[in-house]
Amino acid sequence: MKIRILALTCLCVLVLNMAGSAVADVKSRKAVSPANQLALLLPASDGVVTVDVKRFFSVALPKLLTANQPMLDQVTAKIALMKERTGIDIRQFEYLAAGVTAKPISGKEYDIDPVIIARGQISSGSLIGAAKLASNGKYKEEKAGDRTIYIFSAKDLAEQAKQNAPVGKNSGMADKMIDRMSKDVAVTAIDANTIAFGDLELVRQAVSAARTPVSNDLIGLLGKKETSVVNFAAKMPNGMSVFLPLENDELGKNIDAIRYVYGNMDVAAEAATVNITARTLQNAQATALLETLEGLQLIGKAFLGSAKGPDKQVFARMIDNAKFTAKSNEVMLDLSVPQSDIDILVGMLK
């Protein structure tokens, strides 16, 4: 009898534990933002960016460009032109997650490959059909399990866009971009309203049954403020200082100590906010990095303190308002730029 009671007790404990785990798992899934749900579909990446596309176009962009209506009109016109020529209205996307992998080529050169997963109100079939139509039939097909991957030549797409675009001062730049394009662009449907597109190999990985997902470290860092318009997280490569024109060995050492960078950008009622956090290996490295940044802030204040131009005065206020703090092995930058200062900078753009 005692053995039966013990066995029953153990069974009850096991069932309760399983139930508790299931409830916790359901709660955690509910807590994941729509953008981060897309990040979970990405293949392993060195960096991830998520965007609330709907809020970006309906709230953030109009607010950021409120002092420069001609520029906002230009952006809106280009989106409308893209819709007319390709059938794709990017404003129909609601969320997207972009993953980036960086592969060293030689010396300071890295090959950066992206893959994007986007979800919206328009069907995946319609989007892919529009892309096929825009390419004038210049695409290949490849099977990946029960999915079809459509492969387009990046150079052909760029040439097509150039032919459709009006001739202007940027035509030379377009020629240079076309010359540098050598990789293919792949696109496939994830589900009825979700597509993956970007580097062919990464798109293959995204739909592979053996897909290695984005690391839990990066996913966790993306979730710090999920309601922001933009969230980002990246694992930094070793020796980052070699990519920067630094003459100070101490600054280079502090830059090399950074292992992760993450943060967010958002638009509030009367300001745009930016939060960036750098995570180092050791607490002492974070302290040293904080001291370096505070030193640079003092230099910036001294350099721009007596500036006369409206834009330089805005930059001076931004430097002054930047708040640096450290906690354990993390250094945080918090910056809030009031709408009045944004209006000054944006109003000067042509």
In a domain, 350, yes or no: yes
Inter-CA distances, 174 with 48, 96, 177, Å? 27, 26, 5
Q: What pLDDT does 79 receive?
A: 87
| Domain assignment present for 18 | no
**Same structural domain, 208 and 110:** yes
Residues of the chain with pLDDT under 70: 1-31, 85-87, 107-108, 155-182, 239-250
Residue 315 lies in a domain: yes
Any domain includes 37 = yes
**66 and 163 inside one domain:** yes
- Tally of structural domains, the chain: 2
291 shares a domain with 200: no
Supply the pLDDT for residue 338.
96
What confidence score (pLDDT) does residue 269 get? 80
Output the pLDDT for position 138: 85
Same domain, 193 and 287: no
* Residue numbers of the domain that contains 39: 33-215
pLDDT number for residue 177: 40
Q: Give the CATH number, domain containing residue 263.
A: 3.30.565
